[in-house]
């Protein structure tokens, strides 16, 4: 029996990431090869013509799973009855702008979009915030959409997680699919902590720890971490544009695992509402290792944390606390 279509909202849909993301959703990469979708595409009025061009291309691609496209600059129309919301639209930092200026712009965007989702989205709508500062944008959205359960509001750190997997796979000359259980702790920023303390690689003789195979703690605690932290900047330098293909792909990974579940014995990184696990202050949107089952995520508990990791985890939590204070100051 055919499934009912799932309505997926993509904001900033005429932008680079949106353009890379919508065909992946329409092809089934996000929700599976048998799940029909209706895409809701939102962008700002100056991008209306470009947005219509994206809609035209979606029609031209004749995706069998795509059962409709709503392309609009009206936030209420875009949010009506959506089951999943991928918030890609935001105000980018421009030259000469202070952090508070960027934060203030994004606070106003996420405040209005939160209200529209709260009033018009389907019950139990799942939200993924991609636009930076992603963790704090997600926190603002949560504040202004109080009826959406806090477990349904997340931010994207899967891109960083996938970057970490890629670096380890390249270093060890193994398939990236054979590397698992890296962790991104904290903020989607240059203070994030990519942690391989619990990561493993599937070898012929069974699973082996990444630390044992790499056998170079100075690299794992030095260049590996900074490469993952600064990968976005490296891509901008190389392409003269920010990450789009990889961001879109990891957004699909995030939602797919959240909805369809993580493989047994594997965890992924998601920015979620902290409950105080690992002594991270409650009330932050912080990236943790999680497993997903039946459409719900759970923080992986009981992992031993060494002193090096503790310091890194606390440092990125401090930055998020500062961002939260800055964001709330923009509300007054």
Q: Give me the active site residues, please.
A: 188
Six-digit token string for 271: 């920015």
Q: Does 178 show up as a binding residue in the annotation?
A: no
Q: Does 256 show up as a binding residue in the annotation?
A: no
Kind of pairing between the strands at 84-87 and 193-195: unpaired
Q: Does 238 show up as a binding residue in the annotation?
A: no
Q: Does 196 show up as a binding residue in the annotation?
A: no
Q: Does 93 show up as a binding residue in the annotation?
A: yes
Q: Does 99 show up as a binding residue in the annotation?
A: yes
Q: Does 163 show up as a binding residue in the annotation?
A: yes
Q: Does 62 show up as a binding residue in the annotation?
A: no
CA pair distance 326, 69, nearest whole angstrom: 37
Q: Does 106 show up as a binding residue in the annotation?
A: yes
Q: Does 132 show up as a binding residue in the annotation?
A: yes
Torsion angle of C-alpha atoms 137, 232, 24, 153, degrees rounded to 10: -20
Q: Does 18 show up as a binding residue in the annotation?
A: yes
| Residue ranges at the known binding site for substrate | 93, 99, 132, 163
| Residue ranges at the known binding site | 12-18, 43, 93, 99, 106, 130-132, 163
| Residue ranges at the known binding site for NAD(+) | 12-18, 43, 106, 130-132
């Amino acid at each position: 029996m055919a499934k009912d279509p799932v309505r997926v909202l993509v904001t900033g849909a005429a932008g680079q990431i949106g353009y890379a993301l919508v065909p992946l959703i329409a092809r089934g990469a996000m929700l599976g090869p048998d799940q029909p979708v209706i895409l809701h595409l939102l962008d700002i009025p100056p991008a209306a013509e470009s947005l219509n061009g994206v809609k035209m291309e979606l029609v031209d691609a004749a995706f069998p799973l795509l059962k409709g496209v709503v392309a609009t600059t009206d936030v209420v129309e875009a949010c009506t009855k959506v089951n999943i919301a991928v918030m890609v639209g935001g105000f980018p930092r421009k030259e000469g702008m202070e952090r508070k200026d960027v934060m203030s712009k994004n606070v106003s965007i996420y405040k209005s979009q939160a209200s529209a989702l709260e009033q018009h989205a389907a019950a139990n709508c799942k939200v993924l915030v991609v636009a930076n500062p992603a963790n704090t944008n997600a926190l603002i959205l949560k504040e202004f959409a109080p009826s959406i359960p806090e477990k349904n509001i997340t931010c994207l750190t899967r891109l960083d997680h996938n970057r970490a997997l890629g670096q380890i796979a390249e270093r060890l000359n193994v398939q990236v699919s054979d590397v698992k259980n890296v962790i991104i702790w904290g903020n989607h920023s240059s203070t994030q902590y990519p942690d391989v303390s619990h990561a493993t690689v599937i070898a012929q003789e069974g699973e082996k720890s990444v630390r044992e195979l790499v056998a170079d703690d100075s690299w794992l605690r030095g260049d590996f971490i900074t490469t993952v932290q600064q990968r976005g900047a490296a891509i901008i330098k190389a392409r003269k544009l920010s990450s789009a293909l990889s961001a879109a792909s990891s957004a699909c990974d995030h939602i797919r695992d959240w909805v369809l579940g993580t493989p047994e014995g594997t965890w992924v990184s998601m920015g979620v509402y902290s409950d105080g696990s690992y002594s991270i202050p409650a009330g932050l949107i912080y990236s943790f290792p999680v497993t997903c089952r039946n459409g719900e995520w759970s923080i992986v508990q009981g992992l031993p944390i060494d002193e090096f990791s503790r310091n890194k985890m606390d440092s990125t939590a401090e930055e998020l606390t500062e961002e939260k204070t800055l964001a709330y100051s923009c509300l007054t």
